[in-house]
């Protein structure tokens, strides 16, 4: 295990700040992801917060400002548990990097996604205790970690619209898979916003502010935005581009592992699919001829509304070089786009083009 308790075969994109994902095969067939296999995505040094001294301030457009300790959260609100998949907006960026270089952003594979059982309290209950005003439209989150990758350095934060914040699925979580939330995943308390890009699930939460506009924090106003392909991201100001919130439909092959060498013949192909926010996955197709023809995969039933679905199919592979392509459809009949070239954007977010793994069959 490495320093953050992650498995030895994690693909570490950066040590400081710590950014790592598991190999695809480590996620295969597991509805819930063990903590040692769960990707880590950080923009600055991981804070070390004493849980006993930790306080959460709730302020802004509210009737009562609250100052809550962990004991207050436990005593004043009902415990809530949600199984939810987190996906980074940069998941599968490597597919975009193949089209054109993306300076300053790591080439994440398909492993910046994972599922955990989160428990804590509902954000809606904490907001109700503060009494949000009529004019409150957005709920902003503040954290103490500071990113030195931005110039000047920027504290981490973000916001979600009030409508999402009041959903029973949005938690202030202190536990992950039945254990206290590990420091690297935001302990003592983080936000979990199921169905939205991971960036909105703010870790090491210290402040909640009800306001009439989205957060002005760098990671809401400037980063995590899809700019036009010809824009210069170093010149993009606050409010430019498409602000990412609800996740896009996505899927990936998990087994066989990309680049694997295996015997030819009937082979089980498995993977995940996730529709994002309140949509559901309707179908996953797999192709061995680059999308000329497709076989429908068998889709596991969703264990809950906020969770990825695993899928499988058995196909006869090889001999020789084989490319396996996968695409998903959602309940609106939207399908993943074919090519990453159509989606390329300067910061490399939201790649949900057809997933491809390349195999060699003996």
Instruction: Work out how close the CB of 293 gets to ligand MTE at its nearest, in angstroms, rounded to a whole number.
Output: 35
- Residue 85's binding partner out of Mo ion, ligand MTE, none, with CB under 5 to 8 Å set by partner kind: none
* 223 interacts with ligand MTE by CB under 6 A: no
Instruction: Work out how close the CB of 114 gets to Mo ion at its nearest, in angstroms, rounded to a whole number.
Output: 12
Among the listed residues 61, 88, 123, 160, the single contact to ligand MTE using CB under 6 A: 88
Q: Which of 192/343 has CB closer to ligand MTE?
A: 192
Instruction: Work out how close the CB of 156 gets to ligand MTE at its nearest, in angstroms, rounded to a whole number.
Output: 4
Instruction: Work out how close the CB of 25 gets to ligand MTE at its nearest, in angstroms, rounded to a whole number.
Output: 19
Instruction: Work out how close the CB of 88 gets to ligand MTE at its nearest, in angstroms, rounded to a whole number.
Output: 3
- Residue 13's binding partner out of ligand MTE, Mo ion, none, with CB under 5 to 8 Å set by partner kind: none
Burial class from Cβ neighbours inside 10 Å (0-12, 13-18, 19+) for residue 123 reads buried
Two tokens at 316? Answer: 């006869």
d(CA 159, CA 60) in angstroms, rounded, equals: 13
Stretch of 40-48, 58-66, 314-322, 335-343 contacting ligand MTE, by CB under 6 A? 40-48
Among the listed residues 10, 23, 39, 49, the single contact to ligand MTE using CB under 6 A: 39
d(CA 217, CA 222) in angstroms, rounded, equals: 8
* 93 interacts with ligand MTE by CB under 6 A: no
Cite the beta strand spans of 137-280 per DSSP E: 138-147, 154-161, 171-176, 179-180, 190-192, 207-211, 225-226, 242-243, 250-255, 261-262, 265-274
Contacts of 155 (CB under 8 A, 6+ apart): 142, 143, 144, 145, 146, 147, 217
* 145 interacts with ligand MTE by CB under 6 A: yes
Residues that bind Mo ion (CB under 5 A): 41, 88, 198-199
Q: Which of 121/247 has CB closer to Mo ion?
A: 247
* 175 interacts with ligand MTE by CB under 6 A: no
Three-state secondary structure string covering 86-118: EECCCCCHHHHHHHCCCCCCCCCCCCCEEEEEE
Number of C-beta neighbours around residue 259 at 10 A:
10
d(CA 56, CA 69) in angstroms, rounded, equals: 6
Instruction: Work out how close the CB of 204 gets to ligand MTE at its nearest, in angstroms, rounded to a whole number.
Output: 5
| Interface characters, 193-212, with ligand MTE (x: CB under 6 A) | -----xx-xxxx--------
Instruction: Work out how close the CB of 112 gets to Mo ion at its nearest, in angstroms, rounded to a whole number.
Output: 7
* 347 interacts with ligand MTE by CB under 6 A: no
d(CA 26, CA 12) in angstroms, rounded, equals: 14
* 13 interacts with ligand MTE by CB under 6 A: no
d(CA 151, CA 141) in angstroms, rounded, equals: 21
Burial class from Cβ neighbours inside 10 Å (0-12, 13-18, 19+) for residue 34 reads middle
d(CA 120, CA 288) in angstroms, rounded, equals: 44
Contacts of 71 (CB under 8 A, 6+ apart): none
Among the listed residues 24, 43, 138, 310, the single contact to ligand MTE using CB under 6 A: 43
- Residue 204's binding partner out of ligand MTE, Mo ion, none, with CB under 5 to 8 Å set by partner kind: ligand MTE
Two tokens at 83? Answer: 């199984």
Output b/e per residue, 317-343; b: 16+ Cβ within 10 A. Answer: bbeeebebbbbbbbeeeebbbeebeeb
Among the listed residues 33, 42, 159, 217, the single contact to ligand MTE using CB under 6 A: 42
Instruction: Work out how close the CB of 317 gets to ligand MTE at its nearest, in angstroms, rounded to a whole number.
Output: 33
Q: By CB under 6 A, name the binding residues for ligand MTE.
A: 38-43, 86, 88, 143, 145, 156, 185-186, 198-199, 201-204
């Amino acid at each position: 295990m490495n320093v953050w308790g992650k498995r030895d075969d994690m693909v570490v994109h950066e040590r400081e700040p710590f950014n790592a994902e598991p190999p695809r095969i480590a996620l295969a067939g597991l509805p819930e992801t063990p903590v040692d296999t769960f990707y880590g995505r950080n923009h600055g040094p991981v804070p070390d917060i004493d849980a006993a001294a930790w306080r959460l301030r709730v302020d802004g457009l509210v009737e009562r400002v609250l100052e809550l300790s962990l004991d207050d959260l436990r005593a004043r609100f009902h415990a809530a548990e949600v199984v939810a998949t987190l996906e980074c907006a940069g998941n599968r960026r490597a597919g975009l990097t193949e089209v054109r270089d993306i300076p300053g952003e790591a080439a994440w594979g398909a492993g910046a996604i994972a599922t955990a059982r989160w428990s804590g309290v509902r954000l809606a209950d904490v907001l109700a205790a503060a009494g949000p005003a009529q004019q409150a439209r957005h709920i902003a989150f503040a954290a103490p970690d500071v990113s030195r990758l931005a110039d000047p350095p920027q504290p981490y934060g973000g916001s979600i619209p009030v409508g999402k914040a009041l959903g029973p699925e949005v938690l202030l979580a202190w536990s992950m898979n039945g254990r206290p939330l590990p420091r690297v995943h935001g302990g003592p308390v983080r936000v979990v916003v199921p169905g939205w890009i991971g960036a909105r699930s703010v870790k090491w939460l210290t402040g909640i502010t009800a306001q009439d506009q989205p957060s002005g924090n760098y990671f809401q106003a400037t980063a995590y935005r899809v700019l036009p392909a010809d824009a210069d991201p170093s010149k993009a100001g606050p409010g430019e581009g498409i602000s990412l919130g609800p996740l896009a439909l996505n899927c990936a092959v998990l087994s066989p592992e990309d680049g694997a060498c295996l015997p030819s013949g009937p082979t089980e192909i498995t993977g995940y699919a996730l529709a994002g926010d309140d949509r559901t996955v309707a179908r996953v197709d797999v192709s061995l001829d680059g999308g000329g023809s497709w076989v429908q995969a068998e889709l596991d039933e969703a264990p809950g509304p906020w969770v990825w679905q695993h899928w499988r199919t058995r196909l006869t592979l090889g001999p020789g070089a084989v490319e396996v392509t996968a695409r998903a459809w959602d309940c609106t009949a939207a399908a993943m786009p074919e090519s990453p070239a159509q989606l390329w954007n300067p910061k490399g977010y939201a790649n949900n083009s057809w997933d491809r793994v390349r195999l060699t069959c003996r």
